[in-house]
A = this chain, B = another copy of it.
Amino acid sequence: MAEASTKHVMDREKIGQQMYEFIRALYPICRSITGAGLRETLKQISEHIPLQISEVATGTEVFDWTVPKEWNIRDAYIKNLAGERVVDFRKSNLHVVSYSVPVRTRLPLSELKTHLFTLLDHPDWIPYRTSYYQETWGFCLRHQDLLRMKDEQYEVCIDSSLDAGHLTYGEYHLPGEEESEVLISCHTCHPSLCNDNLSGIALATFLARHLSTQPRRYSYRFLFIPGTIGSITWLSRNEDKTHRIKHGLVAACVGDPGKSTYKKSRQGDAEIDKAVTHVLKHSGQDYEIMDFSPYGYDERQYNSPGFNLPVGSLMRTPNGRYPEYHTSADNLDFVSAESLKDSYQKYLSVIQVLENNRTYINLNPKCEPQLGKRGLYRLMGGDRDTGFDQMSLLWVLNLSDGRHSLLDIAERSGYEFSVIKNAAHALCEKALLKESSGP
């Protein structure tokens, strides 16, 4: 991958702000695992990258699952006797339990309460609830607002529809020199929630846009899909292509102020696991590495034993570990341009490692070559022109026996990957190294 041009450097400076603005634009839309909100979101992503949209009909069997009915909603409220909307979908789409069936009725508070959900610990936050596979209805509201509701009759309206339709997802494939793919997957089914997962959508969109302008060794596949049912649907329809996925990341929760957290693939020692660990270790920031567990986002499906794809998840604070998770507090204040930019840069760094992680053979394997006669002797570490030093050359020469990738050499020597990569390129130029078929 070529060095960033001045234009791209400037882009990178602005990238955090651009991602944040995109999140702001998408925030009001009422997304779910199907329906108009999801379509509108994909349309807005398409303004940045040429997304290929798929529509899968309700009732389609996808492995053990069936594509559900399509859900759409226009309005919803609870009115008191005075005719005031005490709960109003127009103020927050979190107020309605996602996939609520249409309802129009009058109920006393006592009966209504069985359909109301609040957070006792955070009485001023609205929880986020769904009921995709059980037909019911409900409202989520601030606990403090529930306490204010009098014991009277209420008018309840959910102007929704749950009918045969389609599940929609977006896909962007960027061909590279190799057919082998890097998969970047994000879920697009959450309504007005910023970190989970407008941050992942924004990161994937801008990363795809950037990579489209770069030379690429790998092909890249970006998936914008509803959680669980979306990845199951995609895997079901693309089973013959999954063998191409050589590395993958699920992008979610990348905009909050927490430290970077990497959840490993089920394999645990896949190249993506090593690459992300390396990048975080050299980031100069605090970070955490978690073992794989069969919970979380769509890595659950990619890592199911029948696929066992090397797909990890690079997040900031993981799902369920921050109090704002799945509440109205996961809003535009909870994510920042700064965190988004930092996450974006770490994704780019990981991709740089993957793109450049090749295995080489030392063409002068018996004793060291004489570096001096090639102008490679006593190069200093801080050398801005070369980006490597003499020790990195010696490490690359010593370990380039066809069994150590550049990432292996970086890990064993303690050098940051790019220094080892630069040293390897310099040695290739001097015909002291050539690419090997791999470790």
Binding site for B on A (CB under 8 A): 63-65, 133-134, 228, 231-232, 235-236, 239, 266, 293-295, 300-301, 303-308, 362, 364-370, 372-373, 391, 394-395, 397-401, 413
Contacts and interface: CB of A to CB of B under 8 A. Distances in A.
A305 B399 contact: yes
B235 A367 contact: yes
14 contacts: A134-B372, A228-B368, A235-B367, A294-B397, A295-B391, A300-B398, A301-B367, A304-B368, A305-B362, A305-B397, A305-B398, A305-B399, A306-B367, A307-B367
Contacts of A134: 372
Given A294-B394, A394-B294, A397-B294, A64 B266 contact: no
A367 B397 contact: no
Contacts of A365: 304-306
A232 B235 CA distance: 56
Task: Kindly name the residue among A236, A366, A395, A400 whose own CB sees the greatest number of chain B CB atoms within 10 A.
Answer: A366
A413 B295 CA distance: 12
B303 A398 contact: yes
B64 A364 contact: yes
Contacts of A398: 266, 294, 300, 303-305
A306 B366 CA distance: 4
Contacts of A401: 305, 308
Contacts of A266: 398
Contacts of A395: 293-294
Interface centre among A294, A367, A413 (most CB of B within 10 A): A367
Nearest to A403: B305
Nearest to A132: B372
